[in-house]
Structure 1
Amino acid sequence: MQPQVVDGRYEVLGKIGSGGMGQVHEGFDQHLKRRIAVKFTNPSLDDDPDWTKRFIREAELMASISHPGMPVIHDAGIVRGQPDRPYLVMEFVDGITLDTLLERHGPLPIGVVATLGAQAAAVLAATHRNRIYHRDLKPSNLMLCADGTVKVLDFGLAVAPDADMTRYTNTGHTLGTPAFMAPEQVEGRTVVPQTDLYSLGLVLHELLTGDRVMTGSSAFAVWQNQVHQTPPDIQRERPDMAVEIACLIMGMLAKSPAQRPEDAATVHTVLMRHATGLTELPEINDTRSPAQMYAQAVGAAISSRTAPTIAAPTHKLHRPAESNGARTIDFSRGDLQRAMRNARDLADDSRYQPAIHELKTVVDIAVPLQGSRDADVVEARMRLADLRFESADYSGAGDLYRALIDDLTAERGPYDDQVMYCQRQLATCHVHTGDNRAALTRLKRLHSQMAVRYGENDKRVIELAMQINTIKAH
């Protein structure tokens, strides 16, 4: 029997796995002569257009982030037929899932689990930076490769910030795996970064003890336990464990997201203090891997920031010495959110200058601590640019939009919604400062990008064309 060939290029071979919404097959790219993985939606979802949209969205989400702990996306498309079936072509990951690793060896050494967990946390830090939340993290979605690297698989249930793409929940479709769902996910509340940290905590607990944390006679019973049952104390199960890592894991399993670690970077930092090599695992047999060599070089070049606390860490910022000596200021993401709310309230009362001053002060603190491309920092920078725009400071607003365009384009590409928003705002700033030529150049390029992204007949594309014609008329 001849193998199926998709799009005249991709040979589809044997099935190698399945997820919440798709089946994954080994494949071969006839053009580039390489091994690949091809993912199709499950046949049971053929008649549900929302799941097709979600499947295509998975390709967009994964392609928008470049990280060595995520499979590379090569292509996506639709196999025409009755019915049509979307497909995703990605890097073939050769390794062993962590649930299989646990079956082979039983409870794993603490240093090994810390190393595995730190790698997973690093991937979550990358996705959370763009407000993409996995929502289905579990041992079978974590793959250990022969060179010791961990890949996070199956972002099919991920949530992105786009308003029209955040939920595709239909009656009868449960988004997530009951044994690894956070309480807020079970109850249908807002998914946050700590939702993934709860799932990762369950994974770490299971790898260390060999036992599933939350069980039950039915999915409903497991959901109830996730919401109400206190997980077993990990240190009683593993008395050889350091108090710090035990506190971290139990903090990750707190029922309230607010009581869990602040972010994946905090989890990574604590786990790295207890991480050891993986060479004691027989599955790690590529000890001279170029990937390891590269990681060692990166580690030597960049020192990681340590987390001062576990459950609710804050960052210490040392400002230059003032008249009464240098002072230390506590800072957290909550401060950033409060500053944005306060600035908005002040702006609503037309008090733009104090609003801009307060938000700029906090942004200047947040950027060196959390990075200029962190999702919360980007939102604050965007809000600051908008406030300058609303206050008619078009030159200042233009500088901020330009910096955002540079940062976000480098990470997300020119077709990102926030990038295109900043492009349009910057062009409008050009108009207000009398530089119509620069505005038209930027808007024409943006019109071409939006037409590709949304289609020529999209309302936003038509409105932009009208704006271009208006500027030309003047």
Structure 2
Amino acid sequence: MQPQVVAGRYELVRSVGAGGMGQVFEGFDRNLKRRIALKLTSANLDAGPEWTKRFYREAELMAGVSHPGMPTIHDAGIHPGHPDRPFLVMEFVEGRTWEQLLAHRGPLPIGVVASLGAQAAAVLAATHRHRVYHRDLKPANLMMCDNGTVKVLDFGLAVALDGDFTRYSNTGQTLGTPAFMAPEQIEGDEIVPQTDLYALGLVLHELLTGRRVMTGSNPYVVWRDQVHTPAPDIRLDRGDTPLEMASLIMSMVEKMPSHRPEDAATVHNVLLRHATQIAVLPEVGDRHSPVHMYARAVSAPAASRTAPTMVADAQSTFAPSVSAPETTKSFSRGEIRAAMRSAREFADQSRYQQAIQELSHVLEAAQLALGSRDVDVFDARIELADLRFESGNYPVAAGLFLGLVDDLTAERGPYDEQAMYCRRQLAGCKVHLGQVRDALAELGRLHGQMLARYGADDKRVIDIGAQITHIRAT
């Protein structure tokens, strides 16, 4: 029997599972002579264009976030037939899902759970930076590879926020796995980073105790308990769990998102303090993996690379550097949002100097703590650039918007909503600076890109066209 071949090159070897929207196969790329994973939409989804749209959205989301803890996207397309079926080609990931680990071993060692959880949190930190939320984290969607590294799988139900802060998937749709759904997800409220942290907390709880936290005779019972019933204290079943780690996990499964950890980085940092070598598990077959060599080189402390002859007096060498990390640790994302609200209130009263001073001070601390490309830092940077623009300081505003365009495009690609917004604002600065020709050229390029991607009826395309017309008329 001849094997099924997709797109003339991807030979399907065997079915390895099913995701939210289709079947996943192990395959072989005849052109590049390598194993691949190929996801093919279910034939019965052809009547629903939203499913096809969401399938392609998964490809975009995964391809747009580069992280070793996510499968690499190789290709996407349409497999002709009756009906036509979209397909997605990915890196083939070999290992065991956390569900399989639990079924085989039961409760896992505390240090191993901390290591697995820290890796998963690092992946979430990467996706959340792009405002991409998985929304279906569960043991079956988390895999431990043979070298001990973790891969987060199946972003088919992921939520991404666009420029208008609307969710990609329809409001009110109850999509996900009941046993790992956060209360706000069940009730159709806003999906936030803490939605994924809730699911990860339930997964970690299960890895430590060997028992599912939320169970019931039907999905409605589970949903009710997710909303109203607190998770059992993990130390009742695993009294040897370090207090800090137990407190973290219990905070992750709080019902109110505001009561959960601030972000995935916070979860990662705490778990990392309790992580041990994952190679204690027999399932880790490659104990001398080059991946570990690479990771050790990246994470090696500076002290280990300092020649003894270069070390000065301990007090004078280390005293100045002790205070900086403390400032970083005490910084809260809430300070960014509070500073933005306060700055906007000042701006509404035309008190731009106070607005800019307050936001600049907090933004400086935020960039030190979180980096210049953090999602909340990007928001604050845009707000500061807008304030400079509104106050009439177009040269400074132009420089800020130019830096934002470069960073946003490098981080998220040219079609990111905020990147496109900053390009429009940069053009506006150039008009005020008398650089009308440059402004029209920039807007013309943006209009062409948007037109090709979204079509002439898209509101953003229409708005840019109107902006070009207005500039030409003035």
* TM-score of the superposed pair, with normalisation by structure 2: 0.90
Deviation at 1:427, TM superposition (A): 1.9
Alignment check: 8 A CA contact 1:107 1:210 kept: yes
Residue deviations 1:54-73, cap 9 Å, x none? 11111111111100000111
Residue deviations 1:258-302, cap 9 Å, x none? 111111111111111110111121111112212111111111168
> Which moved further from structure 2: 245-254 or 114-123?
245-254
Q: Which residue of 1 aligns with 2:207?
A: 207
- Give aligned-pair identity as a percent: 64
> Which moved further from structure 2: 200-209 or 337-346?
337-346
Q: Which amino acid aligns with 1:219?
A: P
- Give the length in aligned residue pairs: 454
In structure 2, distance between residues paired with 1:138 and 1:339? 36
Deviation at 1:81, TM superposition (A): 3.8
The SS at the match of 2:300 is helix
Q: Does 1:279 align with 2:299?
A: no
Deviation at 1:354, TM superposition (A): 2.0
Alignment check: 8 A CA contact 1:51 1:168 kept: no
In structure 2, distance between residues paired with 1:204 and 1:101? 13
In structure 2, distance between residues paired with 1:473 and 1:276? 66
Deviation at 1:25, TM superposition (A): 1.1
Alignment check: 8 A CA contact 1:169 1:175 kept: no
Q: Does 1:154 align with 2:142?
A: no
Q: Which amino acid aligns with 2:262?
A: E
> Which moved further from structure 2: 330-339 or 128-137?
330-339
Q: CA 1:466/1:189 → structure 2, altered by over 3 Å: closer, same or farther?
A: closer
In structure 1, distance between residues paired with 2:378 and 2:444? 25
Superposed CA RMSD: 2.4
Q: Which residue of 2 aligns with 1:141?
A: 141
Q: Which residue of 2 aligns with 1:263?
A: 263
Q: Which amino acid aligns with 1:47?
A: A
In structure 1, distance between residues paired with 2:109 and 2:183? 28
In structure 2, distance between residues paired with 1:15 and 1:164? 37
In structure 2, distance between residues paired with 1:413 and 1:437? 25
The SS at the match of 1:83 is coil
Deviation at 1:17, TM superposition (A): 1.3
Q: Does 1:55 align with 2:50?
A: no
Q: Which residue of 2 aligns with 1:34?
A: 34
Q: Which amino acid aligns with 1:166?
A: R
Q: CA 1:283/1:330 → structure 2, altered by over 3 Å: closer, same or farther?
A: closer
Q: Which residue of 1 aligns with 2:126?
A: 126
Deviation at 1:459, TM superposition (A): 4.7
Alignment check: 8 A CA contact 2:328 2:365 kept: no
In structure 2, distance between residues paired with 1:463 and 1:226? 43
In structure 1, distance between residues paired with 2:473 and 2:222? 64
The SS at the match of 2:87 is strand
Q: Which residue of 1 aligns with 2:332?
A: 332
In structure 2, distance between residues paired with 1:384 and 1:164? 19
The SS at the match of 2:369 is helix
In structure 2, distance between residues paired with 1:274 and 1:177? 29
Deviation at 1:465, TM superposition (A): 4.9
In structure 1, distance between residues paired with 2:85 and 2:442? 37
The SS at the match of 2:117 is helix
Residue deviations 1:218-268, cap 9 Å, x none? 100011111111212111211122111111111111111111111111111
In structure 2, distance between residues paired with 1:466 and 1:157? 35
> Which moved further from structure 2: 289-298 or 160-169?
160-169
Q: Which amino acid aligns with 1:79?
A: H
> Which moved further from structure 2: 442-451 or 146-155?
442-451
Alignment check: 8 A CA contact 1:318 1:329 kept: no
Q: Which amino acid aligns with 1:373?
A: R
Alignment check: 8 A CA contact 2:171 2:188 kept: no
The SS at the match of 1:75 is strand
Q: How does 1:242-321 map to 2 (within 5 A)?
A: 242-300=242-300
Residue deviations 1:290-343, cap 9 Å, x none? 21111111111689xxxxxxxxxxxxx968xxxxxx999953111211221222
The SS at the match of 1:279 is helix
Q: Does 1:423 align with 2:423?
A: yes
**Structure with the higher fraction of residues in helix conformation:** 2
Deviation at 1:448, TM superposition (A): 3.7
Residue deviations 1:51-106, cap 9 Å, x none? 22111111111111100000111111222444332211111111110000111111
Deviation at 1:167, TM superposition (A): 4.2
The SS at the match of 2:278 is coil
- Give the gaps of 5 or more residues in structure 1: 304-316, 320-325
The SS at the match of 1:232 is coil
- Give the gaps of 5 or more residues in structure 2: 304-321
In structure 2, distance between residues paired with 1:151 and 1:328? 29
In structure 2, distance between residues paired with 1:437 and 1:21? 48
Q: CA 1:272/1:327 → structure 2, altered by over 3 Å: closer, same or farther?
A: closer
Q: CA 1:452/1:74 → structure 2, altered by over 3 Å: closer, same or farther?
A: farther
Residue deviations 1:150-190, cap 9 Å, x none? 0000111111111486143488x631100011111111111
> Which moved further from structure 2: 178-187 or 452-461?
452-461
Q: Which amino acid aligns with 1:342?
A: S
Residue deviations 1:178-215, cap 9 Å, x none? 00111111111111111111111111111111111111
Alignment check: 8 A CA contact 2:42 2:85 kept: no
Q: Which residue of 2 aligns with 1:306?
A: none
Q: Which amino acid aligns with 1:168?
A: S
In structure 1, distance between residues paired with 2:290 and 2:340? 44
* TM-score of the superposed pair, with normalisation by structure 1: 0.90
Deviation at 1:121, TM superposition (A): 0.4
Q: Which amino acid aligns with 2:111?
A: G
The SS at the match of 1:93 is coil
Q: Which residue of 1 aligns with 2:228?
A: 228
